[in-house]
Amino acid sequence: MRILIIDDEQAMHESYRQSFAPKTVGDGAALSAMAAELFGDDDGDDAAGDQAAVSDEMAFELTHCMQGLDGVAALEASLAKGDPFAVAFIDVRMPPGIDGKETARRIRALDPDINIVIVTGYSDFSPIEISKVAGPADKIFYIAKPFEVAEVVQTATALAGRWQVDIELAQARTALANQVVMLEEKSLELAANESHAVHIANHDSLTEAPNRLAFLRALTERSRGKAMFATAMLDLDRFKLVNDTLGHLAGDEMIRSVYQLLESSVPEGGMVARLGGDEFGVLFDTPGEEAAVMACELMLRACSVTLKVFGHSIQASASMGVVVTEAEPVRDPVDVMRRADLALNEAKRAGRGVVRPFDESMDDSIRFRRQIEGGLSQAIAKGELKLVYQPIVAREGLEIVGFEALLRWNSPEYGPISPGMFIPIAEESNLIHELGDWVLDTAIAELENWPGQYVSVNFSPRQFRRQNFVGRVMERVQHANVSPQRVQIEITETAIFDDADRAADTLYRLRQMGFRIALDDFGTGYSSLYNIRKFALDCLKIDRSFIDGMGRERESAAIVHSIIHLGRALGLGVIAEGVETDTQVQALRLAGASHLQGYYFSRPIDADLARDMAHAGTIEGKDDPGDGPAIYDAAEDQAGNGTHG
């Protein structure tokens, strides 16, 4: 430790030299005891022993100055070299130069960290006066001349040790502040990435219009409202001819122009979205069907203009179908879109360039849905339902860690019926609870045939909101004598969005009981960092639409990478669904997805094949993703690659 001594008497400098000369161990112990008494250390003999050790180990480098200005200059030089003094011992009277008070003031101005000790037998200044110019009070001390050796040495030892601790503490605070700044920057970057990903997920890259996902969300919100509204579908007439004759760039430019025309002519408060290709969706409030048709005709008229595209004149025209939705009852948004689409098809059949409102006669499928509902109520009793299982594999080694249970219905009257058809019908008719109980019981019963994998069961929003949902699930698992850790509950964002607080409590209780929780179709609903942080989750499942688009669209690839990085940052697993190609497997492995699922590994298979696969432990022949097609594809998935059970 470096000590600065400023005194105009040579004899005093000699006293300092003798005081800081090496001492015996016994002397050090005595000095430490004095220091303990001087500085109020009440830790007893152990503390005195510690101080003695410090005194023995600490070495001092003394710098002697005869005048205050010399001392100030020495301090400036030490700071310039980055080798500061820990303690300065300063006399008060040092004629003919500046006195000790001024010397202390200048030293403190140069170095706020140094400890100053005023050593004098006579003083023209009170301690308070010196503290005012050379404080703070906890960094300025006083020793009277003549001093005791132990007093000087132990003061230097204690203050030098404290100086070192203060320096280390300041460095730690600086490092901590830097870490806080870095975390804030990372948080801002993550928020920006999320905002960008959300924008990409909800907007069409060609026109910057809201996309199908955003349109469906807005339609869902309006369906829950109290106002009457219209849903319209618009399709460009003879658009394929433009693409074939002038090229896709011209077609893209035409789509951009039509969107701008629609955006400028939609009723106030309305929404125009590009649903895909040359199809647009429109939402707007209306007092009735006649007003809605008139509004659509005005939009068609706005689009029926001659456009200049790359020097070519193109006559634009379109057809529209519209359905008006009453305030009550609440409508299924997918069904509303389907009806508007049926009306659009009728407009095209009527000769194009016209608007057609929806009529019940257009919907033969409504009668079919009623027939399906009647057959579904008997399907369980008649043994027409079954579960198939699709493996979920770990990224490394392709180990089978679980299976997703998927519901299938083969009706004797209608043949295989898509789950996308009968699951919504079951939800609307309350059959979903009976159906869901059968699925859960069947799935957990199958677990005893697997060596250790878990089963993943989908639950619809209506099931999730069922009274005492947690108790019902736990009762069935306990009755089957199955550990909750082997059951993964898959739930969509739609199920938890309506009542987020209740959903958070439900998921928390399920996690406390040991169930695994997966957020299904992530990226297609109401995702946000807030939701992920609020709900007790184990993993995110990336929707297959993004996986399918990875090789064709930069946006899909960016969303997939963002979801994976987000999941890893939050300590969540990430399951990529709908994996069908070797290229997708390699890209997802590199991106860091923890688990994979899809046709590349296996189609959904019957229970007996799933048992064989579970005992095999890995996807045979798939240790390397480049080994070829999946072997377990014997069970044809008649209704598509997975849906909720």
In which residue ranges of the chain is pLDDT below 70? 23-57, 122-124, 328-330, 365-366, 497-498, 523-531, 620-645
pLDDT for the residue 437: 94
pLDDT for the residue 330: 67
In whole angstroms, give the CA distance from residue 594 to residue 582: 16
pLDDT for the residue 54: 39
Spatial CA neighbour of 462 closest among 486, 434, 439, 488? 434
> Residue 455: helix, strand or coil by DSSP?
strand
Asked if the peptide bond before residue 146 counts as cis, ω within 30 degrees of 0, the response is yes
In whole angstroms, give the CA distance from residue 541 to residue 486: 18
In whole angstroms, give the CA distance from residue 489 to residue 458: 6
Residue 290 near residue 324 (C-beta atoms within 8 A): no
pLDDT for the residue 569: 86
Residue type, 458: N
In whole angstroms, give the CA distance from residue 323 to residue 344: 10
> Residue 275: helix, strand or coil by DSSP?
strand
pLDDT for the residue 511: 93
pLDDT for the residue 477: 96
In whole angstroms, give the CA distance from residue 118 to residue 71: 14
In whole angstroms, give the CA distance from residue 544 to residue 580: 10
* Total-model pTM: 0.49
pLDDT for the residue 588: 93
The residues, any chain, with a CB within 8 Å of residue 409's CB and separated by 6 or more, are 376, 379, 384, 385, 416, 417, 419, 422
In whole angstroms, give the CA distance from residue 539 to residue 519: 6
Cα distances (Å, whole numbers) of residue 215 to 207, 218, 264, 554, 565: 14, 5, 18, 21, 27
pLDDT for the residue 626: 40
